[in-house]
Amino acid sequence: YLFPSVTAATYGRRKGQLIGIGAGSGVGKTDLITQMVETDITQLGLKVGILFLEQPIEQTGKRLAGKFAGKRFHIPDGSWTQDELAASLDEVAQEDRLYLYDSFGATTWDVIRGRIKYMVQHLGCESIYLDHLTALTAHMDDERRELEAVLEEMATMAKTLNFVFHFISHLATPKDGPPHEEGGRVKGQHFKGARAIMFWAHMLWGLERNTQADDPEERRQSTLRCLKDRETGRANGMTFPLTFDDATGRLIEGERTEPVQAFQEDDDAPF
């Protein structure tokens, strides 16, 4: 993972895993996985495939370039130049490890499944990001049943093709407590298609932030919560504080009240 404490708690990601992330609208889930993509490419040297179904490919390019350069290219606030954007886009392209799918007009699972298989089998992608799962089944007659079938296929693909499959899911409005956009706690039952997601996902994460706080400093604070850790169970219920750096547009890990003991290379792990 991109944050050391998360890696220490989970022993990292593994090929064959299906990893889900959920958050309220505008909380920052897309920004989080964009930074994960940058980490996969620059630090881990992985080939990455991206399928952002509701974000124009030009916007995705700007956000990724911003993560590389530490600038918020998607915000026209005068803090960057076109030359800086062009240079960063060139840097992303020169890595030759990133493949983006332009989903305009084609968001059915049959189409997306084929694109993912092509990215993995022919382009060599080891890490796939799908944003978001809900878009694949929103138009179907029986959304719940179709979502269960799609998730089963996603988990099977990750295992048989040996890649890490990340997906984003929308959340249902909580029946009690504050809404997610106001810092409400994310629970597994809030995910749309919760039963299937909780069954098939190896790791499940919730991102929490009060986007409506009066204090701007509070609005910059997020919590990453582990809802499911199938491999070891060690990270279940653990939370990781994050801070958004306005200057660089990056998420920075904060200090936990109880530091996570890092695993050692010679640990006698059962995998």
The larger pLDDT score, comparing residue 92 to residue 127, is at 127
Q: Is the pLDDT of residue 56 over 50?
A: yes
pLDDT value, residue 25: 84
Task: Give the Cα separation of 197 and 202 in Å (integer).
Answer: 9
Q: Is the pLDDT of residue 256 over 70?
A: no
Pick the range with the lowest mean pLDDT from 122-126, 140-144, 191-195, 211-215: 140-144
Name the average pLDDT for the chain: 87
> What integer is the mean pLDDT of 80-88?
91
Per-residue burial over 96-125, b = 16 or more CB atoms within 10 Å of its CB, e = otherwise: ebbbbbebeeebebeebeebbeebbeeeeb
pLDDT value, residue 258: 66
CATH architecture for segment(s) 4-253: 3-Layer(aba) Sandwich (3.40)
Measure CA 26 to chain center.
14
pLDDT value, residue 36: 95
Q: Give the pLDDT band of residue 53 (cuts 50, 70, 90).
A: confident
Q: Give the pLDDT band of residue 86 (cuts 50, 70, 90).
A: very high
Torsion, CA 46, CA 233, CA 20, CA 114, rounded to 10: 60
Element (H, E) at 155: helix 143-161
Task: Give the Cα separation of 34 and 94 in Å (integer).
Answer: 18
pLDDT value, residue 79: 86
In eight-state DSSP terms, residue 113 is H
Over the stretch 58-80, which tens digit does the pLDDT of each residue have? 888 899 899 988 999 988 888 89
Q: Give the pLDDT band of residue 144 (cuts 50, 70, 90).
A: confident
Cβ within 8 Å of residue 139, ≥6 positions away: none
Sketch the domain layout of the chain as residue ranges: 4-253
Q: Is the pLDDT of residue 191 over 60?
A: yes
Over the stretch 159-190, which tens digit does the pLDDT of each residue have? 999 999 999 988 878 888 888 888 889 998 88
pLDDT value, residue 175: 84
pLDDT value, residue 176: 84
Q: Give the pLDDT band of residue 104 (cuts 50, 70, 90).
A: low
Q: Is the pLDDT of residue 121 over 90?
A: yes
Residue 167 · residue 18 · CB < 8 Å:
yes
Over the stretch 207-248, which tens digit does the pLDDT of each residue have? 999 999 999 999 999 999 999 999 888 999 999 999 999 989
- The label of the residue with tokens 């990340």 reads 166
pLDDT value, residue 270: 34
Two structure tokens written together for 80: 């960057």
pLDDT value, residue 269: 39
Residue 10 · residue 229 · CB < 8 Å:
yes
> What integer is the mean pLDDT of 7-35?
92
